[in-house]
Amino acid sequence: MNRSLTKRLHRDYLTVSRISSIITHAVLYAAAIGYLVVAAWQNWTLLPVWIMFALITASLVGFAWLLPAVRYRRFVYELFDDELEIQYGIFYVTHMLVPMVRVQHVELESGPLMRKYDLASVSIVTAATTHRIRGLKQSDAHQLKRRIGILARVELPDE
Amino acid sequence: MNKPNKHKLHPIYITFLLFQVIQGLLPFLLLAQLRGIDWTDLPAYAYGAIVGVPIVLLLFGYMGWRSYSFNLDSDRMIIKRGMLFRDEKTIYYSRIHSVNVEQPLLQRLLKIAQVKIETPGGKTQADGILPALSLKEAYALRDLLRSYEDVKEESKIQSLEAAVPSAPITLNAHSALSASSTDPILAPDEMPQAIRIGGGQLMLAAATTTNFGLVAAFVAGLYSFADDIINQFAPDHFLESMFEDTVTSIPGYVTILAAAGAALLGAWLLSILLYVLKYSGFTVSKTGDQISLSYGLLEKRTHLFHPGKVQAVIVKEGLLRQLLGCAQIELQVLSSDKQQALMLHPFIRRGQLREILGLFLPQFEVNSITQPAPRRALLYYSRWYLVLVTLLSTISIAWLDWSGAWSLLLIPLVYIWRWASWRSAGIHLSPKQLTMRKRYLARSTYMVRRSQIVAMRVKGTPGQRKNHILSLRVYIMGSSLGYGVSCLEASAVGTVWDWYKRKPRANK
């Protein structure tokens, strides 16, 4: 808990998560505009539209601007010889310790947007939990996967 | 059996499909009967269906039975099934966590049994299910699997357990008995150790259980069923108007109180009944290396597993039971029934805990809590709850005027509850085991061995960290939620963290 962790997500992941959040909000804006058109045509009150716009904009600022930045700043991890330590969390600062001997398998995944930026997510799966490191460069992700693969096979001598 | 190691299910499996369909149709048939359908005056195609559909189902059942088989090889068993979609499952004996012989109602009525073989990775259903075997065959298979497992035990311990720094699990209970401070008991190999829960003890256990979730589900089911039936005979809104009639004749408060009291009493009696049905004939015994559990009146279940496969021991003391100085012991064993831990003992005096664990699970130690949650953690335990309940009181006073002031009584109640939660929270660390205690309503003590912890999580808000308060959670196989205690002394949590952390290897 007290040792400092050095590895971070790739800076590009910040961009990716912002873009994907903006896309989600664009859909919401489109829905609101659609309603605005109908309301103007049918002479309905326009008050809900302004409330909707305000809410969507607030959520856009929160989820597309602030949240990814804080999340990026708080997320650090490091793979030691025998264990993986991850530190994350916005409200609660959380430390996670996963011994390599407990790792069952490692998964790599990347969506179209992630691929465009040459990023991938690494999921480390144990018998009970899944730990995700989202947004590493593809080469780093592959290297991490391989290293965990090697370390997970190592068996500790009897103590 | 055409080949010595090739086996088939009991032929009665052919009828299973038919029974399942009938079971599914039963409510409709009942409803039809209630509507007064004249069974002698149906159109011809209906009679055709009544005769034809069962024949088709039996045919399908026969084909299903034909294609369902299992092979027992020297190191694995292979279950094959399916006509159109062939499904072949290979289970290595060394990977088996537990073998359960169960008799759900249908199997019970037909005097056969279902065998479930649990291995890690079977997510929602058990990996190996053999739905119909004669009782004799089922137990023979169970014993066979057990004997294979025992042979494998030596090598498995080396390959699996050596990976984690812990001494091999004591396979015989000798060392454990000497370690625990129980009276000398006969050598375990010579005498089968069995604990039977008698009727009186079971009744006590049932009476002190408050299984409200189960009862609520049952009552809801009963209500909708009764509603259906009453609607057949009675005019519309029979229940509602009956309720209103009764209500108008008696003053309001009395009715509500009486109704609540009756509902509680009814729920309690029902939960006793359900509990007794579920756990009647509860027997736990140690045969050879394995622990065997069996219980159930209508649906009989037996579980057989190796003590080394027990991931965690949970001691639960409900409010009533705590007053009586009693507890129930549950075991986290890998099973397809993810939500439910296995019951090792439904009702035990707290003083006997050490004895029974020493007998069945010698690798677990009973420790008392040495590092309770610190005084300043009480703030975090009660803060938001008090804010919430104060808010509720304010709203109800604003809404209901002075009669809403009764809700102020909730504030001290909630505080007492949170105080009790804080009071129970704590941990104890021994070289190989972490003991955690917490209370929601019932007080639970979790015992987890270091070698079985899959991941550890420590968290705290920046404010809590400044106050040196941290929350701890450990994850083990078979329970993805894990077990945790909130708001402990940061230094104590730090010790646990370092304890779980791998030591740097010298030979590298």
How far A9 CA lies from chain B's nearest CA (Å)? 20
Chain B neighbors of A95, CB-CB under 8 A: 457-459, 497
End-to-end CA distance of chain A: 23
How far A24 CA lies from chain B's nearest CA (Å)? 30
Of the candidates B157, B418, B179, B380, the one whose C-alpha atom is nearest the C-alpha of residue B289 is B157
Is residue B311 helix, strand or coil?
strand
Residue A14 has pLDDT above 60, yes or no: yes
Residue A157 has pLDDT above 50, yes or no: no
Count of CB atoms situated within 10 Å of the CB of A29:
16
Interface residues of chain A, partner chain B, Cβ below 8 Å? 1-2, 80-83, 89, 91-102, 126-129, 131, 155-159
- Contact state of B455 with A129 under an 8 Å Cβ cutoff: yes
Amino acid at B314: I
Predicted complex ipTM:
0.85
> Residue B262 has which token pair?
């009756």
Range with lowest mean pLDDT among B379-388, B400-409, B490-499 = B400-409
Residue B256 has pLDDT above 80, yes or no: no
> Does B26 or B429 have the greater pLDDT score?
B429
How far A146 CA lies from chain B's nearest CA (Å)? 19
Highest mean pLDDT among B34-38, B157-161, B430-434: B430-434
- Contact state of A99 with B502 under an 8 Å Cβ cutoff: yes
HEC per residue, B415-473: HHHHHHHHHHCEEEEECCEEEEEEECCCEEEEEEEHHHEEEEEEEECHHHHHCCEEEEE
Residue B493, pLDDT score: 94
Chain B neighbors of A97, CB-CB under 8 A: 455-458, 497, 500-501
Chain A neighbors of B460, CB-CB under 8 A: 92-93
Quickly list H helices, B68-130: 105-109
The mean pLDDT value for B79-83 works out to 84
Residue B439, pLDDT score: 93
Among B157, B160, B309, B459, most A C-beta atoms within 10 A, so best to mutate, is B459
Highest mean pLDDT among A14-18, A80-84, B37-41, B308-312: A14-18
B430-458 burial by CB neighbour count: b if 16+ within 10 A, else e?
eeebbbbbbbeebbbbbbbbbbbbbbbbb
pTM: 0.75
Of the candidates B219, B261, B210, the one whose C-alpha atom is nearest the C-alpha of residue B440 is B210
How far is it, in rounded angstroms, from Cα B161 to Cα A158?
Answer: 9
Tell me the β-bridge partners of B77: B72, B91
CA of residue A152 relative to chain centroid, distance:
24
Residue A58, pLDDT score: 94
Tens digits of per-residue pLDDT, B168-190?
333 333 333 333 333 333 334 43
Residue B296 has pLDDT above 80, yes or no: yes
Highest mean pLDDT among B33-42, B229-238, B423-432: B423-432
Count of CB atoms situated within 10 Å of the CB of B335:
21
Residue A105, pLDDT score: 86
- Contact state of A94 with B457 under an 8 Å Cβ cutoff: yes
B242-251 burial by CB neighbour count: b if 16+ within 10 A, else e?
eeeeeeeeee
Q: Chain A neighbours among B 113-132 (CB < 8 Å)?
A: 120
Residue B292 has pLDDT above 60, yes or no: yes
Quickly list H helices, B338-409: 353-360, 377-400
B223-232 burial by CB neighbour count: b if 16+ within 10 A, else e?
eeeeeeeeee
Count of CB atoms situated within 10 Å of the CB of B265:
10
Chain B neighbors of A89, CB-CB under 8 A: 459
The mean pLDDT value for B218-222 works out to 63
Tens digits of per-residue pLDDT, A35-81?
899 988 888 888 888 899 999 999 999 998 899 999 999 999 999 88
The mean pLDDT value for B212-237 works out to 60
Amino acid at B399: W
Write the CA distances from B450 to B243, B447, B455, integer angstroms: 58, 10, 10
How far A3 CA lies from chain B's nearest CA (Å)? 11
